[in-house]
Amino acid sequence: MTLNVADVTGSVKSALLAISEAKDLAELKIVKTEHLGDKSALSKASQALGKLAADNRAELGKIVGSAKAEVTAVFEAKLKELEIVRDLKVLSEERVDVSLPASKLPKGGLHPLTILTNEISDLFIGLGYRVAEGPELEAEWLNFDALNIPADHPARTMQDTFFIEPLESRLVLRTHTSPVQIRTMLENKPPIYVICPGRTYRADELDATHTPVFSQVEGLVIDRGITMADLKGTLDYFAQSIFGPDVKTRLRPSFFPFTEPSAEVDFFFNGRWIEWGGCGMVNPKVLEVCGIDTSEFSGFAFGMGLERTLMVRHGITDMHDIVEGDIRFTRSFGIGGR
């Protein structure tokens, strides 16, 4: 077998042409066998080298080696190029409609009252308060008497109370979470910083704005030197956290048996004043019954309806939606978004 430079150069030329003309990986594979395989001209040239005389072999060996290297490099480049083309085609064929819904994924939610209660609890925990809770079925004494609402006082008729049979049991469904305040004061020494969220009951018919079972959050602070300005500041902070940083509050004189002075608190939201809740400085009669020394300590308390807060914040216009347990309502709140 003869081996000359011109043949090698010709083989390289035809190999490079074949590689460049390969249109896909299958064609390239054939090209590879033909021009780089064992039976290809270049491989045969390599095999022929062994039979050459030593002086000739070195020179031609270089030529054949570089020829093979050149063809291999071009082949590798072409292979990569065609692989990318193939991948693009395959991935493009696997394209999906990403807007399709994941119906099988379960979708639940927390009731917004839970979300709001958590939010308010966290807010006040951040201010150094504790969250205090108590029973919903409560002793009349804790719900009324200890709060300076004696039997037959007109103030008791302000709240339509659910009583338990027999009346001698002196049990009521609490009309506010204030009995939790009383329990807290009876069992703890000041300073006391608590908020009391929970379910409360008043015999109002269910309509667009009323429900006989509702939720309240009350706050109670007993410490040295507590002033009505502290009450105002706490309400400002509370309102701004719930309704937005620009929200203003105002206090209006009012009456509650358990506070003196008493006030209604309103907040200015979406261009109007909205009644939010009641508040005031804790009446010394209440503090004294709970064993708190009024010469040393003073305190404030406030209470708001959570349903009303939700309705205003989320533009809910019908109380039925909050109480009827429709899953569409709960789901729309997710597990803690606003």
Partner 1 sequence: MKIPLSWIREFSPIPRDISLEDLENAFVNVGFEVEGIDLQGKDLTGPLVVARVESIEELTGNKKAIRYVGLDCGEGSNRFVICGATNFVVGDLVVAALPGAVLPGDFAISARETYGKTSNGMICSARELRISEEHSGIIVLPADCAKIGANAIELLEINDVVVDVAVNPDRGYALSIRGLARELAASLALEYSDPAQKVNTKDFAINTKGIQVSVEDKSALSIVYIRTISDFNASAVTPLWMSRRIEKCGMRSISLAVDITNYVMLELGQPLHAFDAMKIDTSLIMRRAGSTKTIKTLDNQERKLNSDDLVVADKSTALALAGVMGGATSEVTGKTTQIALEAARFDPITIAKSSRRHKLSSEASRRLERGVDPSLAEISSARAIALMIELGGAKYVGSSSSGEPKYAPIVSFDPNFVSKYLGTEVSLSEVEEKLTIVGCDVAKKSTTNWEIDPPSWRADLLLAPDLVEEVARMIGYERIPSTLPTGKSGTGLTPMQYRKRSVANFLAGNGFSEVYNYPFVNPDFVSQLGFVGDRAKSFRLANPMSEEFPDLRTHLLPGLLLTAVRNQGRGAKDIALFEIGSVFRNTEKLEAQNVVGTDRVPNEATKAKIYKSVPNQPLHVGAVVAGKLGSDGWNGKAQDFTWVEAIGFARAIIEETGNVSTTSSSDFAPWHPGRCAELKVDGKAVAHAGELHPRVIAELGLPERSCAFVVVLSALGFPETKKLQTLITMPAAIQDIALVVDGSVSSSTLEAALRAGAGDLLESITLFDRYDKLGDGKVSLAFTMVFRAPDRTLTAEEVSEHREAAAASALKVCGAVVRA
Instruction: Find the part of the chain contacting partner 1 (CB under 8 A) among 17-25, 29-37, 75-83, 129-137.
Output: 129-137
Q: Cβ distance 273 to 266 under 8 Å?
A: yes
Question: Which residue number, 87 or 187, has a Cβ lying nearer to partner 1?
Answer: 187
Question: Which residue number, 48 or 164, has a Cβ lying nearer to partner 1?
Answer: 164
- The reply to whether 164 sits near partner 1 by the rule CB under 8 A is yes
The CA distances from residue 25 to 91, 166, 260, in Å, are: 16, 91, 90
CA-based nearest residue to 108, from 337, 332, 338, 324: 332
- The reply to whether 217 sits near partner 1 by the rule CB under 8 A is no
Please report, as residue ranges, which positions from 82 to 101 form the binding site for partner 1 (by CB under 8 A).
100-101
Instruction: Find the part of the chain contacting partner 1 (CB under 8 A) among 13-21, 29-37, 62-70, 103-111.
Output: 103-111
- The reply to whether 221 sits near partner 1 by the rule CB under 8 A is yes
- Single out the residue of 40, 67, 177, 193 in contact with partner 1 (rule: CB under 8 A): 193
- Single out the residue of 52, 254, 314, 316 in contact with partner 1 (rule: CB under 8 A): 254
The neighbouring-strand residues paired with 259 are: 256, 282
Binding mask of the shown chain, residues 231 to 250, with x at each position contacting partner 1 by CB under 8 A: -xxx-xx------------x
- Burial status of residue 325 (CB atoms within 10 A of its CB: 0-12, 13-18, 19 or more): exposed
- The reply to whether 230 sits near partner 1 by the rule CB under 8 A is yes
Question: Which residue number, 61 or 334, has a Cβ lying nearer to partner 1?
Answer: 334
Dihedral sign, CA of 170, 173, 176, 182? positive
Q: Cβ distance 217 to 177 under 8 Å?
A: yes
**Please, what's the largest Cα pairwise distance for the chain?**
130
Q: Cβ distance 190 to 222 under 8 Å?
A: yes
- The reply to whether 192 sits near partner 1 by the rule CB under 8 A is yes
- The reply to whether 123 sits near partner 1 by the rule CB under 8 A is no
β-strands 171-173, 137-139: how paired? antiparallel
- The reply to whether 119 sits near partner 1 by the rule CB under 8 A is no
Binding mask of the shown chain, residues 22 to 61, with x at each position contacting partner 1 by CB under 8 A: ----------------------------------------
- Single out the residue of 50, 253, 271, 337 in contact with partner 1 (rule: CB under 8 A): 253
CB of 84 to partner 1, least distance (A): 31
- Residue with the two structure tokens 């095999």: 47
Other Cβ atoms closer than 10 A to 134: 17
- Single out the residue of 3, 15, 28, 139 in contact with partner 1 (rule: CB under 8 A): 139
CB of 313 to partner 1, least distance (A): 17
What single-letter amino acid sits at 304?
M
Token couple for 226: 């507590």
Please report, as residue ranges, which positions from 259 to 318 form the binding site for partner 1 (by CB under 8 A).
260-263, 281, 283-285, 288-291, 298
Q: What are phi and psi of 192, to 5 degrees?
A: -125, 125
Task: State the Cα angle at 81 between 77 and 85, rounded to 5°.
Answer: 165
Question: Which residue number, 43 or 121, has a Cβ lying nearer to partner 1?
Answer: 121
CB of 185 to partner 1, least distance (A): 10
- Single out the residue of 167, 207, 296, 317 in contact with partner 1 (rule: CB under 8 A): 167
Question: Which residue number, 42 or 299, has a Cβ lying nearer to partner 1?
Answer: 299
**Can you tell me the distance from the alpha carbon of 310 to that of 212, in angstroms, rounded to the nearest whole number?**
17
- The reply to whether 153 sits near partner 1 by the rule CB under 8 A is yes
- Which pairs with CB-CB distance under 8 Å and at least 24 residues apart come from 51-56? 51/1, 52/3
Q: Cβ distance 128 to 193 under 8 Å?
A: yes
Question: Which residue number, 71 or 263, has a Cβ lying nearer to partner 1?
Answer: 263
